[in-house]
Amino acid sequence: MTVAFLGVILLSLLLAWLSRRGHRRQKAEDFFVASGQFNAILFFFLAVGETYSIGSILGYPGGVYAGGTGAATWFLGYILLAFVVGYFLNPLIWRAGRIYGAVTLPDLFRRHFDSRALELVVAAAGLVFLVPLGMQQFIGLQSIMKELGWAISPLALTAAAGVLAFLYIVISGIRASAYVAILKDILLILAILLTGLVALEHWSVGAVHAAAPLKLAAPALQTDVFSITTILLQCVGFCLVPQTCAYVFTARSAKAIRRAQITMPLYMVMFPFLTLVAYYALRHPMPLASSNDVFPAVAHALLPAPIVGLVLAGAALSGLVVVTGICLAIGPLVTRNLVPGLSNNQQRQWAKLVMALYLLLSIAGAATSSQLLITINNLFYFGITQSLPGMLGILFIRRMRASAIICGIIAGDVLAITLYEFAVPTYGVNAGFVGLVVNAVIVFAGLYFFPDRDRHPIVSRLLSGKNMVSKIPA
């Protein structure tokens, strides 16, 4: 098992090294977004990696195991619709990114609205809400690496994972992430299919419960309202996640993005197999430190050791690829958007230091936190989605005012977190959704009562005919 695991890790490092070919001297934009050169296949693997983060592999079967299929409904629903929304929205975000020379989401806001304050607010919100996501990956990595049975402390194991993630980054930035993502996705597909199919084969062997003792979703109105508002919030929020935007900016063309988006939902056929794994664990009770351990525990119980090594390596790579994606999103948020005036080379160099610090912070956070992964996922989307009204202003709406967007983002974030933290009753409505509605009311009231000067939204720059642009139209 250990040999197989380490073999995959070494192979991933080799792939990361190969990704340097022809790009040894990287500029900041090449390091962060591959200078927008990725074809549909590389964009697909990079973007879809977000779906199969360690939160999905561990959190999804863990959620079904602990809470029944209620959570699974909104979890799958939002991811499925996120791909659909992405088919329409991501090509526009890509076009905005090209026109404004954007590497990050706040770059778009600064250039479109000509507002440094708005750039700072969007960057700060992105940073605040990305911090728990790194912790989430490292909590998952702990669960995975625990299954290896090495006599090493969990903290040392996660530190090793952090060093590995940092190595991928310094080797060639987003290119290494994309190449490793290909290996990770192939391994993960095989791992999930294999574990699910073997669980099916052993379905009746040693089953304690004749039928899985599942907690089916209670048919209550509040449950439905929560599912619907969470799906609506998160399917749009998915396209506004800082690393998703960075992945979109790596694409060569809008067509490459659309081609990749078509096949992305099909990648979700893994989820029925993950459901199968959770059901198997319910029928065959096994000792679990937490519900998040369901997938590695079932793999361990059913598969031969070398295969378990491959399964665990695939799961570990899924966490590592997402961590590198988060790091590559956070680095430029600090060195391009928060700190002004750094040269192209300085942005890349200082970003590496920021990423190292972020990895340390996430490892330390993972060592002290034990929250359920899905809970962290919720808080993340509360904040990230608040940039939606502003994004609509960039893409579709004229005369939106930067100060109104700033007020909306701050009000939406504060309200959502307050409702969530103090458990204020919202009658099932997702707290982030409430925040987004208030945010939108503020922004659109500003648009109605205090319209700004006319700015060309991205859709009005469809640039009839050839669409060849090198500079921003006046």
Partner 1 sequence: MRLSPAARIVIGLVIPFLAVIPTVPLLNHLPIAPFGVSLGLLWLFAAIPLASLCLAICWFGHDRDLPDEHIAADYDAGREP
Q: What angle do CA 379, 243, 32 make, to 5 degrees?
A: 150
Which spans in 339-460 are helix H? 344-368, 373-384, 388-395, 402-421, 431-449
DSSP class per residue in 143-166: HHHHTTT-SS-HHHHHHHHHHHHH
Taking the complex as a whole, the smallest distance from the CB of residue 118 to partner 1 amounts, in Å, to 14
Query: Measured from the CB atom, is 123 or 183 closer to partner 1?
Result: 123
- Nearest distance, CB of residue 102 and partner 1, angstroms: 8
Beta carbon nearer to partner 1, 5 or 32: 32
Nearer to partner 1, 175 or 336 (CB): 336
DSSP 56: I
Please state the closest distance from residue 461 (CB atom) to partner 1, in A.
10
Residues 6 or more apart whose Cβ sits within 8 Å of residue 53? 136, 137, 140, 318, 319, 322
Give me the least distance between CB of 164 and partner 1, in Å please. 29
Enumerate the β-bridge partners of residue 470: none
Cα(324)–Cα(184) distance, rounded to whole angstroms? 13
**Inter-CA distances, 93 with 89, 106, 108, 182, Å:** 6, 12, 9, 24
Give the CA count within 13 Å in the CB-facing half-sphere of 131: 13
Cβ proximity to partner 1: between 224 and 444 the closer is 224
Residue 17's Cβ-count burial label (10 Å; 0-12, 13-18, 19+) is middle
CB of 289 vs partner 1, minimal distance in Å: 25
Q: Which residues contact 381 (CB under 8 A, 6 or more apart)?
A: 233, 234, 237, 432
Give the residue with the Cβ less far from partner 1, 7 or 265: 265
Calpha distance 247→90 (Å, rounded) = 10
Q: How far is the CB of 203 from partner 1 (least distance, A)?
A: 10
Which residue lies nearer to partner 1 by CB, 76 or 323?
76
Task: Locate 227 and state its tokens.
Answer: 């599912």
DSSP string covering 222-275: HHHHHHHHHHHHHHHHHHHSHHHHHHHHHBS-HHHHHHHHHHGGGGGGHHHHHH
Nearer to partner 1, 97 or 319 (CB): 97
Strand, coil or helix: what is 452? coil
Of 304 and 465, nearer to partner 1 (C-beta) is: 465
Nearer to partner 1, 72 or 135 (CB): 72
Contact between residue 356 and residue 364 where contact means Cβ atoms under 8 Å apart: no
Residue type, 43: F
